[in-house]
Amino acid sequence: MSGDSENLSAYHSDQPRARGLLLAVRLFALLAAALAAYLTAVSFSQRGLPVGCGSGSGCDEVLRSRWSYLFGIPMGGYALAAYLGVLGATVLAGSGQSEASRTTGRKLLITLAACIGLAVIWFVSLQLFVLKAICQWCMADHLAGLATAVTIIIYVRRTAPQVAEPTHQSAGWGRAVVSGVALAGVLFALQLFFGESGAQFARLPGDRNADTGPGPGRVLAVLNGELPVAVDDVPLLGSAEAEVPIVLLYDYCCPHCRATHGYLVERMSSYTVPYCLLLLPMPLDADCNESVEETEPRFEESCNLARIALAVWRADRSKFAEFDAWLYEPEMPRAADEARGHAAELVGEDKLQSALADPWIDERISQDVQAYVDSGAKQIPMVLSPQMDGIVGRAESADELFDVLEKELNLTGAQD
């Protein structure tokens, strides 16, 4: 009994520190909850991206990945629930009417700390090793969550009185930890089997689009007639005589663009009336795009890759399809130096040098950038055609994209 009295006395004498630790838990949990609420609101809105994150950014990739939603709710919503649970448990732990109720509050905190800690490890690992993209807002939330979990552990260790029946007490804390691990495990399993993408595409009006039709001097007008495209003048995959022309506005370093490019190229010959694909680079790189305030690291090669690709087209059109396919072979974008070397092998160094000096290249990129800015879409890729409203953003799958294209462009005779 004397040992229990001493421990209880030490516990009560430590109350100022306990209140300070509890306040720290609440502040970290409140910060994490605020960040989670913001990310949830952004995901639910059609604006789609947090402040400071552009199309194709790390935030774009993470918040629209197949790990971003579960049962129609953004993952930020589940994080918000966990942090609100922490705030509620602190009330019970700090001001419960009895020691038993305060212990229950502490055990709830330990359960949530274990779940949050594992969730932080899980979601950071997804960004680093699976998506290979970083969302700075998500990382800030994870950091606040980790601080919450660590502070909870310190608080519980400092404030839980060590009284009678230590074996029973240890078992109780152990069950709290196991419950948190199990809760996290259920969440991860549900994500694996039922995770949903946050990718969506929007539409832009195309009432004033136009097409002069197959034949010499063919000109398209897309983005509601605001972007003229001379078919013989821009990089082309397929036949310029195709009844259905599709224009792709893209960045070679944008993961959503790379996926959409793959969908379109893969099905080019799948229809009885094939379409042609016109490629207009629109780099998300401040070096050649004034609308970009600061270039993200993943887009630092975008302008150079666009210039090299356009130079290959100008130097030797017969080599462009091969070069374009080579650029998309690896999962990640090619380095500009590597791309330039390969381009020189395909078309010859002298022809490449001459093409790179052609002012048409920068004029073409500038025109594509201006069309992107004027559209107000703030997202790429853009899939455009004179015969339909523009599609902006990445479809979750090829089937989702072609459900629209087949209906609106009258693509028929798809082969299995």
Amino acid identity, residue 8? Answer: L
Average pLDDT over residues 380-391: 95
Tell me the percentage of the chain whose pLDDT exceeds 70: 92
What is residue 13's predicted lDDT score, i.e. its pLDDT? 44
pLDDT reading at 265 higher than 70: yes
pLDDT reading at 12 higher than 70: no
Instruction: Quote the DSSP letter at residue 319.
Output: G
Helices (H), 316-413: 320-327, 336-347, 349-356, 359-375, 398-408
What is residue 414's predicted lDDT score, i.e. its pLDDT? 61
Q: Which of 14-23, 245-254, 387-396 shows the highest mean pLDDT?
A: 245-254
What is residue 4's predicted lDDT score, i.e. its pLDDT? 46
Pairing of strands 390-392, 202-204: antiparallel
Q: Do domains 2-196 and 202-408 have the same CATH topology?
A: no
Task: Give domain limits for the chain.
Answer: 2-196, 202-408
CATH architecture of 202-408: 3-Layer(aba) Sandwich (3.40)
What is residue 142's predicted lDDT score, i.e. its pLDDT? 97
Neighbours of 100 (CB within 10 A): 9
Name which of 202, 208, 214 is nearest 228 in CA terms.
208
What is residue 65's predicted lDDT score, i.e. its pLDDT? 86
Fold of 2-196: de novo design (two linked rop proteins) (1.20.1440)
pLDDT in tens, 188-229: 999 999 998 877 778 999 999 999 999 999 999 999 999 999
What is residue 169's predicted lDDT score, i.e. its pLDDT? 55
Tell me the percentage of the chain whose pLDDT exceeds 90: 71
Q: Are 319 and 328 in contact (CB under 8 A)?
A: no
What is residue 97's predicted lDDT score, i.e. its pLDDT? 67
Q: Is this prediction's pTM over 0.85?
A: no
Q: Are 312 and 355 in contact (CB under 8 A)?
A: yes
